[in-house]
Each structure stands twice: as C-alpha cells, then as structure tokens.
Chain A
Amino acid sequence: EAEVAQSPRYKITEKSQAVAFWCDPISGHATLYWYRQILGQGPELLVQFQDESVVDDSQLPKDRFSAERLKGVDSTLKIQPAELGDSAMYLCASSLFDVAYEQYFGPGTRLTVT
C-alpha cells in the first residue's frame, strides 16, 4: 500500500541552528500539505502546494520557515534559525485533489529544539 514518507522521524537541534524536513507524497497526489502539531493542540496548516505551486502559506512564519516542492513531487520544509517554540510534530500529508478529499499522512518528524 502506498504511503507518505517523511524523514527524519526525530530531530534534536539547538536553537539558532538550521533544520530541514523531507516529505515524499503518494505517487500521483497533486496536493501536498505541511502541518505543525504542538502538544495538546490539533494540527495546524503551515503550507499547501498544488503541484509545484504554493496555494496557501498564510500561516507559515516566513521570517524563519521556507518550503519548496520544486518538481511537484517531494518537498522540503526548512527552519532557520530554529527557536525553542518550534518544538513540535511536523506532519506531511497528500491528497489526490484538493482538501475536500481525504488526506494521507506521513508518520511525522518530532522536532525538539534545545
């Protein structure tokens, strides 16, 4: 069964360092999402791609976060510099079409900033 792949699964970094997460969606899924889930909260959308184009990045802290999906397939989310408040689970998801359709999630990257 096709799955969304994410790496790394866990990342510990010091504040002010740069960190990057990678996501490979299910083949053929045009829409890709990055979510952040802070402990005790629901996932919050950071950025949504349709193919290689950003559809929504209104909640992405653009002074330190960046995301790209250059060939419309896999995607990278970067944080530079990391801050203590960035400690969270970062989830990637993909869907065949838009957000009206079920989303398939990866296992997430647990980030701890010390």
Chain B
Amino acid sequence: ILNVEQSPQSLHVQEGDSTNFTCSFPSSNFYALHWYRWETAKSPEALFVMTLNGDEKKKGRISATLNTKEGYSYLYIKGSQPEDSATYLCAFKGGSQGNLIFGKGTKLSVKP
C-alpha cells in the first residue's frame, strides 16, 4: 500500500512569517508529485506538478522543491498572508499507470 505522509498536520503562524511543509512519498517508481491548495468552501486549486528530481517551482510567494531519490518534497511560503490560510495537499503518482495518492494535508492558519 503506497503511503504519502504530510507534516505537520496543522500550523499556526503570524502574518509575515515564512513557513514550510513536508510531503514524504515512496522513493521507488516515481512519476509525478502534485501540490494543491484547498481553501474552505472553495475548490482545491493546483499549485505545482513536479516530475524531475531536483525540480524547483515558484508561484509568487510559494515555492516547492522535489527530491525523488529520498522521497520528499518541501513547500515554502514566504511572508505568509491571511489569504494563505488553507489546507495544502500533496499527491504522489507512482508509475505511468498509477493514480494520484493524496496525503492528509497540512492545515495552515495565518493570523493577522
């Protein structure tokens, strides 16, 4: 059974703090790693799809790195804002025929 772990489970930070989360996944048979942001009462929104070891992607104040050999990805948020409050989900795809296996998410709360 493939296991995707995210840590921490929840995080409370002050506005302006920078923060990061971890997604751990199987290091064998890697195909792709997805990150999604899910705000309450809204649809999950894709942030990044990463496919190559060493990939680094950036969207505004949010960036992500990927290490497929050791099976982890980091998501960084620089200068957190209240609108960054959401659950951040990562999802692993193993093999060309595999489906996305989601982690349980990291719930971020940013206080003004």
Give chain A's interface residues, CB within 8 Å of chain B.
3-4, 40-45, 48, 56, 91, 93, 99-108
Q: Which residues of A contact B96 (CB under 8 A)?
A: 100
**Pairwise interchain contact B46-A103, C-beta atoms closer than 8 A:** yes
**Pairwise interchain contact A45-B34, C-beta atoms closer than 8 A:** no
B110 interface hit (Cβ, 8 Å): no
B100: nearest residue on chain A (CB-CB)?
A99
Q: Which residues of B contact A40 (CB under 8 A)?
A: 104
Judged by DSSP, the binding face of A is loop
Leading 7 A-B pairs by shortest Cβ distance: A42-B102, A102-B46, A105-B44, A105-B43, A107-B43, A45-B99, A43-B102
**Pairwise interchain contact B34-A102, C-beta atoms closer than 8 A:** yes
**Pairwise interchain contact A42-B99, C-beta atoms closer than 8 A:** no
A100: nearest residue on chain B (CB-CB)?
B32
Give chain B's interface residues, CB within 8 Å of chain A.
4, 31-32, 34, 36, 41-46, 49, 51, 89, 91, 93, 96, 98-105
Q: How far is the CA of A43 from the CA of B100 in the complex (A)?
A: 9
**Pairwise interchain contact B93-A43, C-beta atoms closer than 8 A:** no
**Pairwise interchain contact A4-B51, C-beta atoms closer than 8 A:** no
**Pairwise interchain contact B100-A103, C-beta atoms closer than 8 A:** yes
Take A43-B89, A44-B102, A100-B93 as given contacts and tell me if A3 and B43 are in contact as well, using a CB distance cutoff of 8 Å. Answer: yes
Q: How far is the CA of A31 from the CA of B53 in the complex (A)?
A: 26
Q: Which residues of B contact A99 (CB under 8 A)?
A: 32, 93, 98-100
Chain A nearest CB, measured from B86 CB (Å): 13
With beta carbons under 8 angstroms apart, the residue of B46, B51, B105 that contacts A42 is B105
B34: nearest residue on chain A (CB-CB)?
A102
**Pairwise interchain contact B100-A106, C-beta atoms closer than 8 A:** no
Q: Which residues of A contact B46 (CB under 8 A)?
A: 102-104
